[in-house]
Amino acid sequence: MLKVFFIALIPFFLLIHAGKLVAATISISGKAPEYRGNTIELYVLHDFISGEKIPVAQIRFSADGSFSTQITITETNVIYSEFDGYLAQFFAEPGQNYKLIFPPKRVLTETEKRNPFFKPDPVFLGVESPDPNELNHQIEAFENACGNLESKYFERIFLNKSQALIDTIKNKLAVQFPRTTNPYFETYKTFRLSTLEYALHQGKNQAFVKSRFIETKPQPNVPTYCTVFKQQFGNYFRYSATNPDGDQVRELVNSGNLAELMNFLRTNKHFPEATARLITLLGLKDAYYSNQFDKKSILRMLHEASQQTNWPTADRETAQYLYAQITYLAQGSTPPAIHLKNLQGKPVSLESFQDKWVYLHFTDPNNPISRQHLDFLKKIAANYPQLVIVNVIPSTAAAQVSKAGWAGIFTTTTDDIEKLYKVRTFPVSYLIGKNGKLQFSPAPNPLDGFERQFSQLVNTERIRQMRENK
């Protein structure tokens, strides 16, 4: 459950012009002395399927902790920020002013930063001058009420699946939170309660699907809608492939025929066009990672979707983001450019190692496990002169290298390796082929079978050359 810090309250306001939403500016200000001198990024999600983060502003805290910035939005949306182990958010409406209150300042340890299983703590940012009719306050109060009732009746809701109890909860909440004039909040409430209904039938109730996703316009900027949508349609094509018309679904996905797949959802399943597009995009993403469908066909459909002139720009961009995310660091792709310097400060370019395999090894000699991998790499380097080993280490570990006699080139970088190569813990390795493309992504680490796999690769290469040279 989200922690809440003095949630904001300002009257609901939405700009309308000729029946269309109009861009309007929101002002953000406040004072947080603990954060003096810090800078944090604010972003929105482009969409709930790709989760692509779109930066919208920066908050720079002055010497006394005060800050001020502005964002232009066209509709009510969630503004996010990640800092100090927090995933902070608040709901922003066009034309409003928000005086934010930040949670207590904390500093993550290096272990926490490098822990691949560490997840930021979700919190609502607070806002001064509360007003009970403001959206953030309404959502806070509604979430607290829902959470209390869920905790009280958890077993009867989720284990006994009592429809009568869910109806009772809905009636209690309807009395406590009567209908408002804020359409965003009303949609939020509807789909928040839909998570309870989903628990009863796990998406197998056609009346539920009809009322929520066939007769209702998509609301992708409302988090509760997104949650229920992903519950209902997560792994949609994989599960559909087990239904009576499963062979048809499997054939449509594996054929890479986007038009026929969309037509199936509209005609056979009766989903409106906009909902069918979202189901297709989420379904293709999940199908790719399920390893039960032809990956090339899925990528072909995502690329085709990104070029559909009759699709809204937002959906085309979602397809582009999904394609880029799936192919990023994939085998056969070009590795991200990284700026390296050896321990003498001279540039090291990966492109300079032509006709060589490059083992790009992100490691930390200060770590005992990493040192074991580096020790084993000496043997591998001696057996395979056609392999160039490029070790990327923290600058603080340089002193460990000179006396150890480890193999390869040791480099440092100022690039964000967590972002570029998804390095959250050490060691992490990649093998770049002679053609400059990623061959193993990620590659096994030295003690985890890299030599065996690389030996097979070398032997395959040798046989191919022998056949070419006869």
Contacts of 387 (CB under 8 A, 6+ apart): 356, 357, 358, 359, 380, 381, 454
Residue 403 is assigned to a structural domain of this protein: yes
Whether residue 103 sits in one domain with residue 11: yes
Question: Does residue 465 share a domain with residue 344?
Answer: yes
So what's the pLDDT on residue 116? 65
**What confidence score (pLDDT) does residue 418 get?**
85
Q: Averaged over 201-213, what is the pLDDT?
A: 89
User: Each residue of 434-448: b (16+ CB within 10 Å) or e?
Assistant: eeeebbbbbbebbee
Shortest CA distance to 218 belongs to which of 180, 169, 164, 275?
Answer: 275
Residue ending a domain, among 327, 348, 378, is 327
Q: Which band of pLDDT confidence, cut at 50, 70 and 90, is reported for residue 380?
A: very high
Same domain, 258 and 356: no
Lowest mean pLDDT among 224-228, 256-260, 348-352: 348-352
pLDDT for 90: 95
pLDDT of 10 strictly over 70? no
**Predicted local confidence at residue 21, as pLDDT:** 53
Instruction: Point out the domain boundary residue: 85, 104, 131.
Output: 131
pLDDT computed for residue 14 by the predictor: 35
As a whole number of angstroms, the distance between CA 30 and CA 255 comes to 55
Please state, in angstroms and rounded to a whole number, the distance separating the CA atoms of residues 304 and 122.
36
Q: Are 284 and 303 in contact (CB under 8 A)?
A: no
Q: Are residues 411 and 318 in the same domain?
A: no
* Mean residue pLDDT across the chain: 90
Beta bridge pairs of residue 358 = 388, 432
Instruction: Determine, yes or no, domain membership for 107.
Output: yes
**Domains contained in the chain, number:** 3
Same domain, 320 and 398: no
Please indicate, yes or no, whether residues 318 and 344 belong to a single structural domain of this protein.
no
Residue type, 365: P
Domain boundary among 85, 102, 131: 131
Task: Compute the distance between CA of residue 346 and CA of residue 170 in angstroms, rounded to an integer.
Answer: 67
CA-CA distance, 23 to 145, in Å (whole number)? 33
The tally of CA atoms less than 13 A away on the side-chain side of residue 138 is: 21
Q: How far is CA 310 from CA 259, 267, 274, 407, in A?
A: 12, 18, 11, 56
Asked if residue 241 belongs to a domain, the reply is no
Question: Per-residue confidence at 470, pLDDT binned at 50, 70, 90?
Answer: low
The alpha carbons of the chain give a radius of gyration, in whole angstroms, of 27
CA distances from 354 to 102, 215, 391 (A): 51, 59, 18
| Buried/exposed code over 405-421 (b: 16+ C-beta within 10 A; e: otherwise) | ebbbbbbbbeeebeebb
In a domain, 454, yes or no: yes
Does 26 share its domain with 108?
yes
Give the CATH number for residue 392: 3.40.30.10
Q: What is the average pLDDT across 285-301?
A: 95
If pLDDT is split at 50, 70 and 90, which confidence band does 400 have?
Answer: confident
Within a domain: 13: yes
CATH number at residue 108: 2.60.40
Q: Does residue 291 share a domain with residue 386?
A: no
Indicate whether this model's pTM tops 0.75. Answer: yes
38 and 11 within one domain: yes
Q: Is the pLDDT of residue 15 over 70?
A: no
pLDDT score for 329: 93
For the chain, what percent of residues have pLDDT higher than 70?
Answer: 94
What is the arithmetic mean of pLDDT over 354-380? 93
Is residue 281 in some structural domain?
Answer: yes
Q: Are residues 465 and 349 in the same domain?
A: yes
Q: How confident is the model at residue 18 (pLDDT cuts 50, 70, 90)?
A: very low
Task: Write out the residue range of the structural domain in which residue 311 sits.
Answer: 250-327
309 and 380 co-located in one domain: no
Confidence of residue 185 (pLDDT cuts 50, 70, 90): very high
Largest distance between two CA atoms of the chain: 84
CA–CA dist 34, 239 (Å, integer): 50
CA atoms of 343 and 385, how far apart (whole Å): 22
| 278 and 316 together in one domain | yes
222 in any annotated domain = no
